[in-house]
Structure 1
Amino acid sequence: MTIRSPFCGKAAVLLACACAALLPLAAQAQASYPAKPLHLIVPYPAGGLTDTLSRTLAEGLGKRLGQTVVVENKGGAGGIIGTDYVAKSAPDGYTLLLTIPGPITANLALYKKLPYDPRTDLRQVSDIAMARTVLAVNGTLPVKTVAELIAYARKEPGKLRMGSWGPGTQPHTIQAYLDKTYGVDILHVPYRGEGPMVSDLLAGQVNMTVGSVTSLKQHFASGKLRALAVTGTRRAKALPDVPTFAEAGYPDEPYKLTGPITLLVPARTPGDIVERLGREVSALVKTPQISQRIEDMGAEPIGNLPADAVAAYKAYLPGVLKLTADTGVTLD
């Protein structure tokens, strides 16, 4: 026979009352969001497109939320360090991540084991902008087209040095694809971010890259760098005279791949906070002033809502993983 304490029923009632009392407090806390400064993590050093865009986003979002948004650069390991930091942060809406696709897409194929899983540990808030990238060479390199670059690489094996903003990033995978597809020997030189890479590209320490239009376009007019082709299926608005790879005679899938710069939060962040952030960011990006600033950076504004950003991620992830695997690049 089971003996039930007469206090069990009372305890259950008290517990239920306590839980019920906490619900309004939780709702009140979320309603008062944000009550303190937010931290926007960029998983790359200062100087690249993501960092530049983060400053614009932080300024505008801070004004809309009535709180300071502090940008923090946590670079290293191809974006893994900063991304992992956010994935493991408190899911309260105060720690945000702004990243290019690599850390949440290609890294799944490049590393056998990541310290985070972007599919389950992070949640999309909004795709801020589409980053356009361009194949560029140092102005002293005697090539003006993609075909001439490949011919030069075949003639001078091991002489070309391709800089990237980190292992496994788009420049790295394209370098590996060039080697594998055309039988050339191009040295991959990884940097901790795009800023340091561009500095060495200008100095001739590396002589080619695939970099953001934002960071490279100012050097084309001076002749210090030369643009050969843009990635994607159409020309970049900021470089209307530069052909796509397909227009240059190279319609291969890896050259068509583009991806957004995305704002994310830890996966368990309350839905109403995610939606609030999504609405504010979407409205911000779609203002004429911010849209123009993004276009001036050489990117293309998006500013979608959370559900659309999640759907877009699920749609392009399989293709990125396949193309990354096809290059044969692995990092561990």
Structure 2
Amino acid sequence: MPSSPIDIAAACAFTALGMAASPAHAQNGYPDKPIRLVVQYQAGGSADTMARIVSQGLAERLHQPVLVDNRSGAGGIIGTDYVAKSTPDGYTLLLTVPGPITANLALYKNLPYDPRTDLRMVSDIALPRTVLAVTPSVPVRNFKELIAAIQAAPGKYAMGSWGPGTQPHQAQVYMDKAYGLKTMHVAYKGEAPMAVDLMSGVIQMTIGSVTTLLPHITSGKLHALAMAGPTRSRMLPHVPTFAEQGYKDEIYMVTAPISLMAPAKTPDAIVERLGREVAAVLHEPAVRRRIEELGADPIGNTPGEAAAAYTAYLPVMFKLTKATGVTLD
């Protein structure tokens, strides 16, 4: 039976009301143009890899391109500051590893941004696992043997990192202090170039993400000695943790997520929308498998949950960084 003009009008009114009230049409139809996803390191590292997984999923759900923008340098400061000072409209986002929003607060007295007030959490993407790896020319089988080898050759060993003040840099300083070692720190602009120099023997060791180092460990081009964190990695089940080897110092135990953030004044409706969409992406079975195969644990929590987690782990990361005595300005 054909609908009457009144039925049609009512249906149109109902549809219009639903569209006005739906999250998709909040904030004047956000998003209605491409979104920029900033990463603070060069292409090829763990953060960049995660960003490309997230960008693809978000683009499909938001029906807008999500473009990965690598803005590397200064230990993550350049990319983080760019987003912190961007227009808070949801079109410039930050995918960040922990260092630039935790350790940098202790490393720099004149940091140009404050992640606690200039940025806000959208969602935690994944918990990356990190592993101590050495070049095959280093003849050791575990962390204790590595310490002994370094003690026997002062000044010979160099620890690579993806920037000053990052986890491997903190570990290098801590190891020198705790075990009376003399090692060097070599900072790179990302994990990918660091891994290349590690395999070629320019540097001898690093603590890097399983995401970046796994293929080289599997192929035998690098040797894994110890997993950071409380448990072994599902992708490297044969590699014991530092704790299993008798080293339970907090610096070897703490873990923190890769997170998606936005400028602090980004409207709640946009942040909540992004949080829901990111969670949906990260709960897709294919995406979860891909992240797990990279040696990380997918998360995809709400903005509130991510903010609470940040508040909880920030003091721990801050304390560990201060304890090394490292400052960069």
TM-score when normalising by structure 1: 0.91
**How far, CA to CA, are the matches of 1:52 and 1:159 in structure 2?**
32
After superposition, the C-alpha distances for 1:59-81 in whole angstroms (9 at most, x for unaligned) are 11000001000000000000000
CA distance in 2: counterparts of 1:246 and 1:139, whole angstroms: 23
Match of 1:54 in 2: 51
Distance in 1 separating the partners of 2:264 and 2:188: 29
After the TM superposition, which residues 218-257 of structure 1 pair with which residues of structure 2 at under 5 Å, given as runs? Answer: 218-257=215-254
Check whether the contact 2:26–2:269 (CA below 8 A) recurs between aligned residues: no
For 1:221 and 1:57, locate their aligned partners in 2 and report how far apart those are by CA, in whole Å.
25
Name the count of aligned residue pairs. Answer: 307
The CA distance in 1 between the partners of 2:78 and 2:216, in whole Å, is 30
Work out whether 1:65 is the aligned partner of 2:40.
Answer: no
Match of 2:76, as an amino acid? G
> Which of 136, 139, 143 is equivalent to 1:139?
136
Paired residue for 2:181, among 181, 184, 195? 184
Corresponding residue number in structure 2 for 1:264: 261
Q: Deviations over 1:219-256 (max 9, x none)?
A: 12332110000110111121111111000110000000
Identity within the alignment, %: 63
1:101: how far off? 0.3
CA deviations over 1:4-38 (Å, ceiling 9, x no partner): xxxxxxxxxxxxxxxxxxxx9xx966140001000
Distance 1:98 1:108 in 2: 18
- For residue 203 of structure 2, give the secondary structure of its aligned residue in structure 1: coil
State how 1:53-132 maps to structure 2 within 5 Å: 53-132=50-129
Shift, 1:185, TM fit:
0.6
Q: Which amino acid aligns with 1:81?
A: I
CA distance in 1, matches of 2:302, 2:90: 16
Identify unmatched segments of 5+ residues in structure 1. 1-23
Q: CA RMSD in A?
A: 1.2
Query: Where do residues 295-314 of structure 1 align in structure 2 (5 Å cutoff)?
Result: 295-314=292-311
Is the 2:36–2:66 contact (alpha carbons within 8 Å) kept by the matching residues of 1? yes
User: Is the Cα contact below 8 Å between 2:26 and 2:270 reproduced in 1?
Assistant: no
Deviation at 1:328, TM superposition (A): 1.2
Q: CA deviation at 1:215?
A: 1.0
Deviations 1:264-320 (A, max 9, x none): 000000000000000000111011011001011111101101000000000000011
Moved over 3 A (4+): none
**Bigger Cα displacement from structure 2, 321-330 vs 100-109:** 321-330
> Which consecutive unaligned segments of at least 5 residues does structure 2 have?
1-20
TM-score, scaled relative to structure 2: 0.92
Aligned to 1:280: 277
SS at 1:135's partner residue? strand
**2:214 touches 2:294 (CA, 8 Å); kept in 1?**
no
